[in-house]
Structure 1
Amino acid sequence: MAARGGADDRVHVLGVRHHGPGSARAVHAALVRLRPDAVLIEGPPEADALVELAADPDMVPPVALLGYRDDDPSRAAFWPFAEFSPEWQALRYAVTRDVPVRFCDLPAAHTLAWEAEAAPVPAAVDAPDDPEAEAPDGAEDDGGAAEARAARTDPIAVLARTAGYDDPERWWEDVVEHRDDGESPFPAIAAAMEVLRETAESAGPGPDDAREAAREAHMRKVLRAALREGFQRIAVVCGAWHAPALRTLPSAAADAAALRGLPKAKVSVTWVPWTHGRLAAASGYGAGVTAPGWYHHLFTAADRPVLRWLTEAARLLREEDQPVSSAHVIEAVRLAESLAVLRGRPLAGLSEVAEATTAVLCEGAEARAALVHRRMVVGERLGEVPAATPALPIQRDLREAQRRLRLRPEATVRDIELDLRKDLDLQRSRLLNRLLLLGVRWGAPRRGDRRRRGTFAETWSLAWQPEFDVALVEAGRWGTTVASAAAARVRELAAEAALPALTRLTEECLRAGLDGALGEVVAAVSRRAAVDTDITHLMAALPPLARAQRYGGVRRHDASSLRAVTDELLTRVCVGLGPALAAAAPAGSSARRPASGGGATAKEAARTVELVDGVHAATGLLGEADRSRWLDTLAECAARSGVEGLVAGRLHRLLHDACRLGGDELVVRFGHATAAAEPPARAAAWIEGFVGGAGAGGGLLLVHDTELLGLVDRWLSGLGADAFGEVLPLLRRAFGAFAPPERRAIGEQARRLGGGPAGRTESVSGGHPVDDERAAPAVATVLRLLAPAAASPVPSPSLQESR
């Protein structure tokens, strides 16, 4: 071994930029030339037992080492590798040639314990930021302090500025990524980093110096152990910033002192799939690159990369029905190469290729160019790990379910449509819903898809993210399979959930096919409903139970057990709604009641309307007897005099839609609500509740029922200036929810009420007279469409007869 503090010619330090294709090629070339008998790689030593899996043909990068604390799996860290990562190339070189390989960074046991002591961490975090990674510029400062701080946080940017570049990415591409002369760049990189480290040290200690010192001390510790084992050619692949610290070895005692007393936790490490999107700097990954898709292309298509890239961009655009010819590709290549020559670059880089794509292939259309950027520059690619990878039983169960149900995880978002009448689709739906209960949002249900109205149809958006493996590890405490873990999670949630959440949990159990847990949740609902006296809780709890009872058969579940609980809830709602509305009404006569147009009262009234609408929709899913009982309750409540204006208007609208309130009676009540004795704000709130919001059909009702519209018109005409200003915001809110055609039609009807041209011979939009003779053929065609089975041709009536 060399003398203390000196360099050792048995050690060859290859300082790299993480996830750089030029660095990856340079590392591979250096290893072929050196033929080392041992390789040390920056990474957690706990993963040494997993390195052989890198030789498995089923291991497809991008992948990552996942380390998590056994006592708290939410505290985790990832060490990602892409095919163009220098560390991955070094690992593959070693395992395919039976060269001993080890990871030498600070153990994950210390890293994760350190993270826990420093501050709370999210469910999944990236490996600690690497100083050589691109970082935001610091605040402006004077003199060498700012330069020293920049050297510590972003040494690549400092070197780029020194070379006259305004873009660190472009400088690194020109100097390293596009090198083809075969000369090793590592001595020059190490020398440059040594100067930058001296500059940084001159400014005093940095915030992460203690951690960086511990990392480098452990790297040297592993290196000394390899030298003691007798290895003669040791290749060390690490971040460029650390290279100077490993070229000379200080005393072992100094390094031991730096490692003494570090916090420690028990951890587990495994391989998990990763994505190119999570390698991008935009994802928040500290050592990320701006264009992982471009870098993957540079590494895998070293022969004429610009031509191949633009050809692939043209193919992508053609798939989107964009007209791109071979001539476009030829001209785009010429433009990219010409821009590189003008800018003095050895090869066209991403900026030149992007400009050529926009200008030629996309003909200046930025939106089309954005498609290419999103699909190719970042390039969502999901890696794969072999079946032999260590995993928890729940992870293996999910992988088996994915294989059995033919649901391949992908990084890109894709939509699938499920038909629950098919056994395969039903099982897929159950799996995705069980994962939702466990916090694994692999699939996001698209509720209310208007294209598929049947209760048997579902649409899901699927996109796999690496953090889901962490969520599965956390879910492992509830069970060894997805089904058992979801059932245990449901029981845990049911123990403390309020009544509305408990009934929603019932619906989720039904979707997930958790029959065993469903019975326990239903029993909990019955117990909780028996003691819950809050009418709002009861009303919020009813809709999920009604949906579960109605659609249980679609999911092949006997929902009869829900019937008794649903009946009990509906009975209590019907009995308690009237007194609750009376208790919520402000004290005093109607003339002195405050308006429900703002403040806490308005919010409470809006919440009551939302709950009433929910129960009304729920009773539509139940039997006729339940529907009739509910409508009787609404009729009784609507007749009360002390109900808030917004709520009262909504009750009358629901009764009118259900044919429980005739036109004449409705006109009378409408007139009472807008009488001069009523406060204008309350009358406006009544109208707002009656016409409802978007989708309630209130606009069409006013268009076709001119008597109601006339009542509104006369009420508004009788208001004074002050009262009109008071109610105008409320009416704007009510009528603003209508579609523009509905508002125009209401305006036309109001114009006629005010003395404008009247009669049925006008169109709603233009007010032009209708030519009966010209309209007759169109009327005849409509009649034929409405009666296609008529034995004889329908005669062409006159327009007046059709009316």
Structure 2
Amino acid sequence: MTALRAAPAASPAAAAPAARPPGAAGPLVLGVRHHGPGSARAVRAALEAVRPAAVLIEGPPEADGLVALAGDEDMRPPVALLAHAVDDPGRAAFWPFAGFSPEWVAIRWALDAGAVVRFIDLPAAHTLAADPTWDDGEEADQGERIDPVAELARAAGYDDPERWWEDAVELRGTADPIAPFEALAEAMGALRDAYGDGGRPLDLVREAHMRLRLRAARKEFGDDMAVVCGAWHVPAVGRKTTVAADRALLKGLPKVRTETTWVPWTHRRLARRSGYGAGIDSPGWYGHLFASPDRPVERWMTRVAGLLRAEDRMVSSAHVIEAVRLAETLAVMRGRPLAGLGETTDAVRAVMCDGSDVPLDLVHDRLVVGDVLGEVPAGAPAVPLQRDLARLQRGLRLRPEAQERQLELDLRKENDAARSRMLHRLRLLSVAWGEPVAGRGSTGTFRETWRLSWEPELHVRVAEAGVWGTTLASAATAKAESRALEATALAEVTSLAERCLLAGLSEALPVVMTALADRAALDADVGHLAEALPALARALRYGDVRATDTAALGEVAAGIAERVCVALPPACAGLDTEAATAMRGHLDGVHTALGLLPDAAGLVERWGGVLLRLADRDGVPGEIRGRAARILLDDGRLGEDATARLMSRALSPGTPPADAASWIEGFVGGASGGGMLLVHDARLLGLVDTWLTAVPPRAFTDVLPLLRRTFSAYEPGVRRTLGERVARGPSVGTPARAGAGTAGFAEGLDEARADAVLPVLRLLLGHGEPEGAGR
């Protein structure tokens, strides 16, 4: 352990003599920490010192044929090996590599040196068959696992494993390239003696396969080879066992047919917080340490300053110099060999962020974790659908990015319309690269706003979607047709029709429209019909900018609207509170939808009659009657006097308080602008005030939750104005006096007050102020 403190270089696991000095017998076994820059530098130095003929690496053997792609000039880490089951692409596993991963460094060294590279871990064919879930290629159950780095840190007197690792490996160097691996191997051997498999039962099977692959390689290369694996496995790799014993552990393992390829990865997905089992806390920082061995602290502070300046924060060169000095001072005070992430973070907070964690969070997100997205060569194996998607991305100049961003599209432009179709087709295939969001500009149908974020897992979703077709258009069409035939709910088919129009899937529309007409004809539930109509109405609007033929869709929508107008009044009678609330939502949806239907003047007129019947019908729940009255008032179909009569009747003493409160909720509740209506209509405010003050105490307790929900939805300014107007005087008892009551409005025009503004208007208009100006 003393030797390890002096100069180590790796992570999870190693025991007995792990590395061999030049001239010593046996393969060179290098125990590393996955994604550790110190381990990566040590591996490169050891390989340069020994220069083996073959390098064996922990990874799936199915990827042996893909190793050469790692040397392609278009391959830029972070990347990952992706293996998935051919018959079930959802069963997949990743083996990620960053530029500072020891395994990646070993692969690149071997390719440059002309050495053979082979992977020796348990084949993905067994891994994917044994575990239907996928994550990072590690086992799912980590409940009883030990963390080797944490155990070694605890033995060294550290309470933070990452800090110990930085001190022991990342921030130290050694003249002997083999010594760190020997020290770590000894430490891991002690841990394996104490903890056995460390809560990793599958590791015993994996290590048996590694030993078999190592024996086979020794027959070919002798001892002139190096093994690069997680340090935890080093004691087991060198363990003396029989071939029969190892094969017995592998006997009977399930197996599936797999395909393997390289896919881009991200620093964000390397972070432990993302759920990756072998993740690290600070991939961006580790990448910086690996790429900047010379003056890493100074270079890091310069990068931080550049980021903060880009965000309009005042950061000068003096800040950088002072932050470097503070970080180095903190390292000395804390007894660290060099300033690490903790010291640099504290210095940045104090010097560049004025003690605030807000800009520091930006530094952590952009630099400490990072948003780097790797690239793979175009020649990497891929399912046909993935190749078609890559072609579309290049042609539309819409490359995947790790960092989330918003994309504004103007569908009147050909390129933007094509981008929209691609994103909608991907969503239909459950490849959620983009998510539609509300835009800040125009709300017209010719504009769309998307939130884009590419995650590595989407490669698996694309592979899964490959069963539907070889191109994005054919796959989306096939899935839409299949969903249309399988759908049982009318709303599901209408939503699918809308999505097909958005995605420009004209070939799928005949099947979807047939299914839609069949479901609409068979569905007698007015709630289902009302729920389906808004999606159809929205879809009909897309033809303007997407040049889509929606004639058949219009016929179905008109038929559904007719049936809603006939069936809605009787369906609204006798509903309970929950059903009434749902029906009120349908009422709003249908009203909005009818306004979108082309050539629907007759339907709109008929709908007005339906609303009049609902507003005046006693058997209809108060919430629906109130909402119908409000819609009619807003559309000008119901005058102020008629509206006041309906409210007066709904709030009469003979009406149960709960029913009256429900009517108010329907009339002025939600996002309907009811608060402003009461502010500007003294008579309606007076009626509500009179009713509210007359509610008996016991009944008031029952209606209070509904009233709170109704009025709490108003803007604070609206609530304050209503309170002030009610507080000015006694409640208004009758509509005749409402104009002069609490709301502060006179019944007629006060001409003297109106004339008072005329002199000011003349000045504003440049006519001057004539002497004795009045009227």
Partner SS state of residue 191, structure 1: helix
Does the aligned pair in 2 maintain the 1:38–1:231 contact within 8 Å? no
Partner SS state of residue 477, structure 1: helix
2:601 is aligned to 624
Partner SS state of residue 596, structure 2: coil
2:748 is aligned to none
2:165 is aligned to 172
Describe how 1:286-435 pairs up with structure 2 within 5 A. 286-435=277-426
1:610 and 2:585 matched: yes
> Following TM superposition, by how much is the alpha carbon of 1:723 offset from its aligned partner in structure 2, in angstroms?
2.1
> Following TM superposition, by how much is the alpha carbon of 1:645 offset from its aligned partner in structure 2, in angstroms?
0.7
CA distance in structure 1 between the aligned counterparts of 2:137 and 2:223, rounded to whole angstroms: 31
Q: Could you give the per-residue CA deviations for residues 226-255 of structure 1, whole angstroms, max 9, x where no partner exists?
A: 111134411000000111122344221211
CA distance in structure 2 between the aligned counterparts of 1:233 and 1:14, rounded to whole angstroms: 14
Structure 1 residues 649 and 82: CA distance shift in structure 2, 3 A? same
Describe how 1:59-138 pairs up with structure 2 within 5 A. 59-116=75-132, 121=133, 124-128=134-138
Of 12, 29, 45, the match for 1:13 = 29
CA distance in structure 2 between the aligned counterparts of 1:371 and 1:83, rounded to whole angstroms: 23
Partner SS state of residue 515, structure 1: coil
Partner SS state of residue 217, structure 1: helix
2:557 is aligned to 566
Q: Could you give the per-residue CA deviations for residues 457-487 of structure 1, whole angstroms, max 9, x where no partner exists?
A: 1111111001110001110110001111111
CA distance in structure 2 between the aligned counterparts of 1:727 and 1:254, rounded to whole angstroms: 76
2:485 is aligned to 495
1:196 is aligned to 191
> Identity percentage over the alignment?
55
1:676 and 2:653 matched: yes
CA distance in structure 2 between the aligned counterparts of 1:438 and 1:780, rounded to whole angstroms: 65
1:460 and 2:470 matched: no
What letter corresponds to residue 208 of structure 1 in structure 2? Answer: R
Of 684, 709, 723, the match for 1:708 = 684
Structure 1 residues 54 and 559: CA distance shift in structure 2, 3 A? same
CA distance in structure 2 between the aligned counterparts of 1:291 and 1:697, rounded to whole angstroms: 49
Of 39, 51, 58, the match for 1:42 = 58
> Following TM superposition, by how much is the alpha carbon of 1:749 offset from its aligned partner in structure 2, in angstroms?
2.1
Runs of 5+ consecutive residues of structure 1 not aligned to the other structure: 139-148, 586-600, 764-769, 785-792
> Following TM superposition, by how much is the alpha carbon of 1:719 offset from its aligned partner in structure 2, in angstroms?
2.1
Partner SS state of residue 660, structure 2: helix
Does the aligned pair in 1 maintain the 2:616–2:646 contact within 8 Å? no
**Normalising to structure 1: TM-score of the pair?**
0.88
1:699 is aligned to 675
Structure 1 residues 300 and 451: CA distance shift in structure 2, 3 A? same
Of 211, 217, 235, the match for 1:226 = 217
2:226 is aligned to 235
CA distance in structure 2 between the aligned counterparts of 1:705 and 1:76, rounded to whole angstroms: 64
Of 205, 208, 217, the match for 2:200 = 208
> Following TM superposition, by how much is the alpha carbon of 1:678 offset from its aligned partner in structure 2, in angstroms?
0.6
1:163 and 2:156 matched: yes
Describe how 1:224-303 pairs up with structure 2 within 5 A. 224-303=215-294
2:67 is aligned to 51
Does the aligned pair in 1 maintain the 2:146–2:199 contact within 8 Å? no
> Following TM superposition, by how much is the alpha carbon of 1:776 offset from its aligned partner in structure 2, in angstroms?
6.3
CA distance in structure 1 between the aligned counterparts of 2:445 and 2:148, rounded to whole angstroms: 59
Does the aligned pair in 2 maintain the 1:217–1:258 contact within 8 Å? yes
Q: Could you give the per-residue CA deviations for residues 110-169 of structure 1, whole angstroms, max 9, x where no partner exists?
A: 1111113xxxx2xx42110599xxx8xx8xxxxxxxxxx7xx611111111111111111
- Number of equivalences: 737
> Following TM superposition, by how much is the alpha carbon of 1:724 offset from its aligned partner in structure 2, in angstroms?
2.1
Structure 1 residues 625 and 6: CA distance shift in structure 2, 3 A? closer
Of 467, 473, 490, the match for 1:477 = 467
Does the aligned pair in 1 maintain the 2:729–2:742 contact within 8 Å? no
Q: Could you give the per-residue CA deviations for residues 738-792 of structure 1, whole angstroms, max 9, x where no partner exists?
A: 10111111112222352799799989xxxxxx999997677568x86xxxxxxxx
Of 666, 677, 693, the match for 1:717 = 693
CA distance in structure 2 between the aligned counterparts of 1:801 and 1:72, rounded to whole angstroms: 87
> Following TM superposition, by how much is the alpha carbon of 1:533 offset from its aligned partner in structure 2, in angstroms?
0.4
1:537 is aligned to 528
What letter corresponds to residue 89 of structure 1 in structure 2? Answer: V
What letter corresponds to residue 285 of structure 1 in structure 2? Answer: Y
**Which consecutive segments of 4 or more residues in structure 1 shift more than 6 A?**
5-8, 755-763, 770-778, 794-798
Higher mean alpha-carbon deviation, 533-542 vs 251-260, is at: 251-260
What letter corresponds to residue 157 of structure 1 in structure 2? Answer: A
2:176 is aligned to 183
1:593 is aligned to none
> Following TM superposition, by how much is the alpha carbon of 1:655 offset from its aligned partner in structure 2, in angstroms?
0.7
Partner SS state of residue 516, structure 1: coil
Does the aligned pair in 1 maintain the 2:19–2:28 contact within 8 Å? no
> Following TM superposition, by how much is the alpha carbon of 1:633 offset from its aligned partner in structure 2, in angstroms?
1.4
Does the aligned pair in 1 maintain the 2:726–2:742 contact within 8 Å? no
> Following TM superposition, by how much is the alpha carbon of 1:637 offset from its aligned partner in structure 2, in angstroms?
2.1
CA distance in structure 2 between the aligned counterparts of 1:450 and 1:675, rounded to whole angstroms: 44
What letter corresponds to residue 677 of structure 2 in structure 1? Answer: L
2:623 is aligned to 646
Structure 1 residues 130 and 651: CA distance shift in structure 2, 3 A? closer
Does the aligned pair in 1 maintain the 2:52–2:226 contact within 8 Å? yes
Partner SS state of residue 55, structure 2: strand
Runs of 5+ consecutive residues of structure 2 not aligned to the other structure: 1-17, 733-738, 746-751
Structure 1 residues 244 and 653: CA distance shift in structure 2, 3 A? same
CA distance in structure 2 between the aligned counterparts of 1:36 and 1:130, rounded to whole angstroms: 35
Higher mean alpha-carbon deviation, 247-256 vs 171-180, is at: 247-256
CA distance in structure 2 between the aligned counterparts of 1:683 and 1:677, rounded to whole angstroms: 10
Partner SS state of residue 261, structure 2: strand
Structure 1 residues 648 and 13: CA distance shift in structure 2, 3 A? same
CA distance in structure 2 between the aligned counterparts of 1:732 and 1:777, rounded to whole angstroms: 45
Partner SS state of residue 445, structure 1: strand
Does the aligned pair in 1 maintain the 2:149–2:161 contact within 8 Å? yes
Q: Could you give the per-residue CA deviations for residues 520-552 of structure 1, whole angstroms, max 9, x where no partner exists?
A: 211211111111100000000000111111232
Q: Could you give the per-residue CA deviations for residues 30-50 of structure 1, whole angstroms, max 9, x where no partner exists?
A: 001110000000000000010
> Following TM superposition, by how much is the alpha carbon of 1:797 offset from its aligned partner in structure 2, in angstroms?
11
